[in-house]
Chain A
Amino acid sequence: MMNKPILNVSNLTMDFGGIRALDSLDLDVNSGEIVALIGPNGAGKTTFFNCITGIYTPTAGDVFVTPPDSNKQINLKGLKPNQVTEKGLARTFQNIRLFEKMTVLENVMIGRHCRTKAFIFGAILRNAATRKEERSILEFSYHVLEKVGLADFANEFADNLPYGAQRRLEIARALATEPLLLLLDEPAAGMNPQETMDLDVLIKEISREGQSILLIEHDMKLVMSLSDRIFVMDYGKKIAQGTPAEIRNNSAVIKAYLGEEVNA
């Protein structure tokens, strides 16, 4: 189970006009792993997320997802964001994008949308099947909220939550889609040290349940503490990959972050 790849990105390229934001990027995530994607500002990390989740259509390259119960690879390239989510990639956003005028619980319930079916007639007639489904949505969502520690806020409006809790709600919402791979875009951005520590615990807890995670993060302490493997990007290219220890001593990475030493 451990080393089975679930996400394979190969040769991913994205051009915006004349600017090559991603340059033939390869990346893979194995089942149950926490993989971090780091790099200086403007390296193309969020663009990478947007490409694999269908918000942008990549210029070239492929994104394959392998569900754990089969060996068939599904190509996500060219699918719409909602289809990508259905296939098992769920993401959070760098700038929090919650549904502010919905309750915390409803935010999570939205995550269940792609795993449920009731439609117009189900909604109007509210027959047994629909009631059962609604109930399962509620139970699942509440359970996810308990997991991230927001159950007490279930009926609050999302925009009334404190910042750190909003971040966790985004994670809960993504988890509600039962993703194969959870994509976190700078989950610790703007958090204070205490909130970051809580987040560290939360992500480890989610990971212990077997959830595979790919995260973008700038907080190096958090990245080093969490990740099994790290990919480093700069100017749209992958410049290094390896375990935290390897990355820490990689000269190309140090160069990208700190600049080159000048020899007089």
Chain B
Amino acid sequence: MISLKELKKGLLTSLWFVFLTFPIMVIKVDPFERTITWRWHNAVYMAIGTFCIFFIMKFYMQRKEMKKDTQKDSNDSILQKTLLDTRKRNIFIGTVLAVALLFPQFVSSYQTNVMTTALMYVVLGLGLNIVVGLAGLLDLGFVAFYAVGAYSYALLNLHFGLGFWTVLPIGGLMAAFFGIMLGFPVLRLRGDYLAIVTLGFGEIIRLILENWGTFSQGPSGISNIPRPSLFGLDLSLGQAINYTYYLMIVFVIITIFVVNRLQDSRLGRAWIALREDEIACQAMGIDKRKTKLVAFSLGAFWAGAVGVIFAAKTTFINPASFTFLESAIILSIVVLGGMGSIIGVIFGALILILMPEYLRALSEYRMLAFGAILVCMMIFRPQGLISNIRRTYKFDKTNLKTTPK
């Protein structure tokens, strides 16, 4: 049962929280009346609440420890187990695809639009997953590549009248080029230092777009960007929304296909080795410089391509769409979903983008809930929703068979 020592610790924790929240929970200043109200009852609630939560947490942690001892693969979630079974996996993928294809027929165009946004974040997450999840390079300025893609389309369309389909690959390649530009100076950096520099890079791109008016039309942004075209057909607004949605579905499938193949390749293994141990990785004959640059540019490519789609979808872009918050959300998607895991990133994106949308009822507390969920994730499932499963190989003496998992 609860020992005296734990009781003391719980009391101290609650006291500490009362102290921390004192200014916002207890003191209420009315600047007009020039009065201060002391709401002592709030401090009491805070103390009791923290005290209870302390013991609930303690209980959970203990149970988790016990589980770890008894059961080896307790970190496999139910979803993960489903995915390991080939037959179940095919049914699962089939169902998801069917739902995805029929989705716009049953819901309003608003819902379709929201879902398209979520799918865009799936691709962004998968792109960043290459950089952060596989190669282990913490990138806090990923939104810069997204901006590069979006502005590529907006500006090329504005000045040269290039269409969506022409710019889609160009936007991706432009972003990949910027990825290499960022990659070169940060080759030697790791961890926190890399994070700081990439953060700076993201801000630089945004500030350039905001202040170089003659180039990017500044904070007022660029409007009247054409939507994606379909063999020159004239689409109504509703049709255009559905079309963008299906376009995004196809794009997501292509991304999953490519990223999946990349991570099981020689290159993918080199990325993971780089993440695990940079020195050993070099000593085993992997060119660190090349591997890092490829990770940066391939990650950026997807962001650039999605940027083009984003510009086409919203028909208006300005620098305010590319703030640090976007980078943070994309990074949260990767971390929440599980670093290096494709399925994890997809779920991460859907949860993080759709949840705030449907939590609008709680509007003011939305970010609070968002934060709380992330904190809980870090405590209870630090490896993410779905931890990465490495491909395994089965060996016959005569015939090598590989079984992807």
Contacts and interface: CB of A to CB of B under 8 A. Distances in A.
Interface of A: 53, 55, 80-82, 85-86, 90-91, 93, 97-103, 105-106, 109-111, 113-116, 118-120, 122-124, 126, 130, 133-135, 137-139, 142, 151, 154-155, 157, 173-174, 177
B390 A106 contact: yes
B272 interface: yes
30 contacts: A53-B283, A55-B283, A80-B287, A82-B285, A82-B288, A93-B283, A98-B276, A98-B280, A101-B390, A103-B390, A105-B393, A106-B272, A106-B390, A110-B270, A110-B273, A110-B286, A113-B266, A118-B267, A120-B262, A120-B294, A122-B265, A122-B266, A123-B261, A123-B268, A124-B261, A126-B261, A155-B393, A157-B390, A173-B284, A177-B285
Interface in B271-295: 272-273, 276-277, 279-288, 294
Q: Which of B261, B262, B269, B272 has the most CB of A within 10 A?
A: B269
Nearest to A137: B266
B277 A97 contact: yes
B70 interface: no
A85 B273 CA distance: 16
The A contact surface, by secondary structure, is: helix
Contacts of B270: 110, 113
Closest A-B pairs by Cβ, 4 of them: A114-B285, A123-B265, A85-B285, A99-B276
Interface of B: 258, 261-262, 265-270, 272-273, 276-277, 279-288, 294, 298, 388, 390, 392-393, 395, 400, 402
A119 B270 CA distance: 11
A237 to B, nearest CB: 26
Contacts of A106: 269, 272, 390
Contacts, number: 124
Contact of B262 (A103, A111, A124): A124
B69 to A, nearest CB: 16
Contacts of B277: 97-99
Nearest to A158: B276
A211 to B, nearest CB: 17
B278 to A, nearest CB: 10
The B contact surface, by secondary structure, is: helix
A4 to B, nearest CB: 24
Contacts of B286: 82, 110, 113-114
Contacts of B282: 55, 80-82, 85
Contacts of B294: 120
Nearest to A89: B283
Given A85-B282, A122-B266, 5 more contacts: A80-B287, A101-B272, A113-B266, A113-B284, A130-B265
B285 A118 contact: no
A116 B284 CA distance: 13
Contacts of B279: 55, 81, 93, 97
Contacts of A110: 269-270, 273, 281, 284, 286
B395 A102 contact: no
A81 B266 contact: no
Contacts of A120: 262, 267, 294, 298
Contacts of B269: 102, 106, 109-110, 113
B10 to A, nearest CB: 35
A111 B270 CA distance: 10
B280 A93 contact: yes
A90 B286 CA distance: 12
Nearest to B388: A101
A97 B393 contact: no
A105 B393 CA distance: 8
Given A119-B267, A120-B267, A101 B276 contact: yes
Contacts of A97: 277, 279-280, 283
Contacts of B392: 103, 155
B284 A100 contact: no
Contacts of A85: 282-285
Contact of A135 (B265, B288, B400): B400
A49 to B, nearest CB: 10
Contact of A102 (B261, B266, B276, B393): B276
B265 to A, nearest CB: 3
Contacts of A113: 266, 269-270, 273, 284-286
Nearest to B400: A138
A109 B277 CA distance: 15
A116 B266 contact: yes
A208 B284 CA distance: 23
Contacts of A90: 283-285
Nearest to A156: B392
A119 B388 CA distance: 22
